[in-house]
Structure 1
Amino acid sequence: MNTVTKEIHNLGQERLLKLIETKQAVVGVLGMGYVGFPLALECVNKGYHVIGFDKNSEKVSLLAAGHSHINDIDENKLKEALHTKRFQVSDNMASIQDCDIIVICVPTPLDKKEKIPDLTYIDSAVDSMIAYGKTNQLLILESTTYPGTTKKKIAERMEASRQMNIGTDFFTAYSPERIDPGNIQYEVSDIPKVVGGITKTCTELASAFYSTIVNSIHPVTSAEVAETAKLLENTYRYVNIALINEMALNCRELDIDIWEVINAADTKPFGFQKFNPGPGVGGHCIPIDPFYFKWVANQKGLKTKLIDLADEINSEMPISVSDYAIKLVNKEKRSILLVGAAYKKNTNDPRESSALTIMGDLMKKGCETDYHDPFIGKIRLDEGSVKYSVPFTKEQIDQYDVVIIHTDHDDIDYSILQDTSPVIFDTRNVCSDKLADNLKLVTL
């Protein structure tokens, strides 16, 4: 590379840095889901012009009309962003060429049968980048994935297809999403961003961008470190949830209140972190991320014993809930109501929710099964059948033999359960001592 070429590349890098510093960079966010949508709004809030991309034309139309599809994002915030004329939503990937920064926030699910990574959405996003990208763009992956994805699936593909050099002609980094749906305590800007680039320049540019969005960044030496940090965060939670779930099941058989045990242990000011048991592990991160690490480790012949054991315990939890619910009533035909279908309180997100597994198993075992969720009006079970949310009234509740409290939404008035006839199986410990006096109550 001659001196003139080096100078041109440096000018391109300096131009991109200047666009970031002055908020003149156009930011494209690929994927308007639970991660990309709030990130896009935060970028608008910080002064950027943002194009939110999604291949779902129905979602694009909904957002363009000012309607939020995510329960904990205020529509007024969306309408304000649209009103500024600095936010637009599009299903036309050709507009990627108008962007200076591209952030990929697409799903990274598991193949359900084999529990192996499915990077179809990332591959599709990179295809769009190859087709419509330009030189001197900063490309950041936020989707959770196994270490090596950013380099092999994005940087090396872009290099080979576009004949561009990483760190000079274009810039690529990984910064894991840390959005916590339903958690109103932490805004996007409050959550520190881990940033790891393919080259040092890539890290510096990505860090410069995120420094204008969030309050704190943590640069690391490589994209692989950043990718693995995300997997560690949620594998840690997955393993500890398995531990407390196993403790809960054993304490029940020993006639010991696991919730009292947890509260007692939590009084220790050091060396203990509180985890609560539950009916299963759901959502887009915790039940998926450990298997991205497991897959890449197993590819190298490495063992993942704790992940394997945690998977065994957590996967059995929904079935143990349905089995116990059936045992609570000694009759041939049982009717059961699940309260909450979302995987997490105060969200309208049923992805990987254990409620789907529990309902499917109950139905397979001959139980008449319904659900109530104030945020989710309709769900599709794994076997394909559709269920609609029923009213949460005393008249409706009295029709059932057992009520399973699955998701502890704050908007549910649990006092309605007082003086009702079914057994209340509380998997979330939301029924207070006051309510317990007027309930046929059992817990995990």
Structure 2
Amino acid sequence: MKVCVVGVGNIGTNLLTSLRRKGVQAVGVEINPDRRAALAAAGVDGVFAGPDEAGAPDVWILTTSTGPGMSHILSAVRSLSPKPGALVSVESTLPVGGTARLAEAFRERGYVPGETFHLAHVPHRILFGVEETVFDAPRVVAGVTPACRDAAIAFYRPLVPVLYPVDDVRVAELSKIVENGLRYLNIAFAEALFGYCLEHGLDWAQLHGAVNTKPNVELLNVDFGIGGECLPKDMGFLQEALQSPLLEAAVAADEAHRARLRRLAGPHRRVLVMGLTFKPGFPDTRFSRARELAEALAADGKEVYVYDPALGPEKVTELGFRWGDPGGAYDLIYQRPLAIRTAAEEEKRGQDTRDGQ
């Protein structure tokens, strides 16, 4: 069996290398030449510029970004010519009704799901830093037809420990954006509480710890805002489907949180931002709210220093910031997990010798 992964970004790379480790003959397609060069430099070979170079795979797995109006995923679908009986599995996140749009794009070119080939939606799942591969977590499986779903189950069953088949492909689409939408809501709730603590002189860390002493409750921690590529995009998909005032309020809460962090720097000149990546420990600043804040503060005329061991001084300088020394003197410090300290508070902490206080 030959498999081709279309879209070899973070998810696609993990998928491609995981398939190969399991003994599957797998190649990739990545249209971005810089990304292909980076993959080659990292020792990931067999990644081509277009589907025509990939031969005639038995399985196509799409992990490309969805794109505005599904433009990226539609472009990928229109580039494929699945052979008779092939499986096309879309792992990219889709809005509700997205798989039907992809099926129609195939039909327009004479490829009929469930007849000439199989079309399935198996939303990807991986929590980087916790799970090693895209095959570690249970996966939801759906198909445009029952035969399409069965073909996907047959392919994934040897790879994934737990499969959860659903009858309607819209349930699979919704399940993915609900997962991320629920996390968005929980973070936005925590951000609102964080703001309340700031405004009323309360210790957020103590509130967070106190609430989480109840076993069935988890109050999430807060960061520089809800960033990354997935959560804001998926919240948009969910709001498109639900048109819910609850979701609208969550988006507004996150926007207010980010605006509040910027305002707090008001009178301060020298600012240290401790952590610039989109999530701690991963050297990727794309879609990073921390980077967004640092850039905003620099635009406000602040001297912005950044300390992030995941990036190092050279990368921080390339991004346009001064490298910061955590032991240096600053008027305001943004820490991660999010805490905001002034120079006066830092001096008080340095004089306080009580253990753990």
Q: Distance in 2 between matches of 1:340 and 1:108?
A: 28
Equivalent position amino acid for 1:366 in 2 = G
**2:207 aligns to what?**
261
Conserved? CA contact 1:341–1:407, under 8 Å: no
Instruction: Measure how far apart 1:307 and its partner are.
Output: 1.0
The 5-angstrom pairing of residues 350-365 of structure 1 reads: 350-365=285-300
Q: Distance in 1 between matches of 2:307 and 2:86?
A: 47
**1:371 aligns to what?**
306
**1:245 aligns to what?**
191
Q: Percent identity?
A: 28
Equivalent position amino acid for 1:321 in 2 = L
**1:194 aligns to what?**
140
1:106 and 2:75 equivalent?
no
Instruction: Measure how far apart 1:192 and its partner are.
Output: 0.7
SS of aligned partner of 2:231: coil
**1:293 aligns to what?**
238
Equivalent position amino acid for 1:437 in 2 = R
> How many equivalent pairs are there?
348
Q: Distance in 2 between matches of 1:424 and 1:93?
A: 58
TM-score by length of 2: 0.89
Instruction: Measure how far apart 1:234 and its partner are.
Output: 0.7
**1:73 aligns to what?**
none
For structure 1, the residue ranges without an aligned partner over 5 or more in a row are: 1-24, 68-78, 110-116, 298-302, 381-385, 409-419, 426-434
**1:30 aligns to what?**
6
Cα distance per residue 1:113-147 (max 9 Å; x no partner): xxxx4422102201211xx4322211111111201
Equivalent position amino acid for 1:387 in 2 = L
SS of aligned partner of 2:350: coil
**1:74 aligns to what?**
none
Q: Distance in 2 between matches of 1:269 and 1:246?
A: 22
Q: Which of 141, 146, 169 is the matching residue for 2:90?
A: 141
Cα distance per residue 1:63-112 (max 9 Å; x no partner): 223x1xxxxxxxxxxx5xx6xxxx62111320344211111111135xxx
The 5-angstrom pairing of residues 141-160 of structure 1 reads: 141-152=90-101, 154-160=102-108
- CA 185–36 in structure 1, closer or farther in 2 if over 3 Å, else same: closer
Equivalent position amino acid for 1:135 in 2 = P
Q: Which of 293, 302, 305 is the matching residue for 2:245?
A: 305
The 5-angstrom pairing of residues 27-426 of structure 1 reads: 27-65=3-41, 67=42, 79=43, 88-109=46-67, 117-129=68-80, 132-152=81-101, 154-161=102-109, 163-181=110-128, 183-270=129-216, 272-297=217-242, 303-327=243-267, 329=268, 334-376=269-311, 378=315, 387-388=319-320, 390-393=322-325, 397-398=328-329, 400-406=330-336, 422=343
Conserved? CA contact 2:304–2:322, under 8 Å: no
Conserved? CA contact 1:355–1:406, under 8 Å: no
Q: Distance in 1 between matches of 2:82 and 2:231?
A: 33
Conserved? CA contact 1:373–1:389, under 8 Å: no
Equivalent position amino acid for 1:262 in 2 = H
**2:355 aligns to what?**
none
Cα distance per residue 1:335-377 (max 9 Å; x no partner): 2221211111111222321123312321232212232333345
Q: Which of 338, 345, 350 is the matching residue for 1:438?
A: 350
Conserved? CA contact 2:126–2:136, under 8 Å: no
Conserved? CA contact 1:28–1:102, under 8 Å: yes
Conserved? CA contact 2:306–2:324, under 8 Å: no
Q: Alignment RMSD, CA only?
A: 2.7
For structure 2, the residue ranges without an aligned partner over 5 or more in a row are: 353-357
Instruction: Measure how far apart 1:212 and its partner are.
Output: 1.9
SS of aligned partner of 2:232: coil
Instruction: Measure how far apart 1:296 and its partner are.
Output: 3.7
Conserved? CA contact 1:378–1:389, under 8 Å: no
Q: Distance in 1 between matches of 2:37 and 2:342?
A: 46
- CA 45–393 in structure 1, closer or farther in 2 if over 3 Å, else same: same
TM-score by length of 1: 0.72
Conserved? CA contact 1:371–1:388, under 8 Å: no
Conserved? CA contact 2:223–2:337, under 8 Å: no
Conserved? CA contact 1:26–1:100, under 8 Å: yes
Q: Distance in 2 between matches of 1:118 and 1:341?
A: 29
Structure 1 moving runs of 4+ over 4 Å: 377-380, 420-425
Q: Distance in 2 between matches of 1:305 and 1:42?
A: 41
